[in-house]
C-alpha cells in the first residue's frame, strides 16, 4: 500500500490544503492527514475542532484518514508505515523551507517527500490569512471547505 502522510497544524484547513489532499488521493492508496500537536503554539481552533473540520470535509472519501501526532514527522511515518510525506507548495519561499525539511527527513530516514504545487486559484491562501480574516469578521467561507465553522 502506498501511504502518504500530509502533516500540518491545519488551523484551520484551507481550500489549498483541501486541493492538495484531493489530488493526493489519486497518487496514493491512502492519505493520512496528521495534525501535529505543539503545546507551545497558540491555536485559534482546538485540536478536536481542527480534526472535525477535516473529517467532515472528507467524510465521503475512504482513502483519507485523519489523526494527530507528536514528535518528529518521520517517526510518525514509521509508526504508521507511511512511505511518503505529502506537501503543498504555494510559492518559492515555501519551496526553500520545505526543501530543507525534505532533505533532513531523507537524511534521517528513507521517507521521500512528494511536493504538489497548489492550484493557482488557491495559491494565495494560508491558514494565517484565514485566521486574520476571521479575527476581523471577514468572509472566511470563500477560503475554507464548508466544514469549517466559526462559533
Q: Is 76 helix (H, G, I), strand (E, B) or coil?
A: helix
**CA within 13 Å, CB half, 53:** 25
Task: Give the number of residues written for the chain.
Answer: 151
**What does the alpha-carbon distance between residue 109 and residue 89 come to, in Å, rounded to a whole number?**
22
18-43: b (≥16 Cβ within 10 Å) or e: bbbbebbbeebebbbbbbbeeeeeeb
Element (H, E) at 95: helix 92-108
Please name the residue that has the C-alpha cell 492550484: 119
Active centre residues (catalytic)? 17, 41, 90, 127
Nearest to 18 by CA among 145, 150, 147, 149: 145
Amino acid at each position: 500500500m502506498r501511504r502518504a502522510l500530509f502533516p500540518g497544524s491545519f488551523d484551520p484547513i484551507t481550500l489549498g490544503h483541501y486541493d492538495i489532499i484531493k489530488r493526493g488521493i489519486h497518487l496514493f492508496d491512502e492519505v493520512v492527514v496528521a495534525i501535529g500537536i505543539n503545546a507551545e503554539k497558540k491555536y485559534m481552533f482546538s485540536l478536536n475542532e481542527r480534526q472535525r473540520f477535516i473529517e467532515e470535509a472528507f467524510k465521503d472519501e475512504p482513502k483519507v484518514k485523519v489523526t494527530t501526532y507528536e514528535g518528529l514527522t518521520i517517526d510518525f511515518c514509521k509508526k504508521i508505515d507511511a512511505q511518503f510525506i505529502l506537501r503543498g507548495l504555494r510559492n518559492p519561499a515555501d519551496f526553500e523551507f520545505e526543501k530543507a525539511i525534505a532533505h533532513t527527513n531523507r537524511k534521517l530516514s528513507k521517507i521521500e517527500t512528494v511536493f504538489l504545487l497548489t492550484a493557482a486559484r488557491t495559491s494565495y491562501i494560508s491558514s494565517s490569512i484565514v485566521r486574520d480574516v476571521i479575527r476581523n469578521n471577514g468572509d472566511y467561507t470563500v477560503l475554507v471547505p464548508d466544514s469549517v465553522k466559526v462559533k
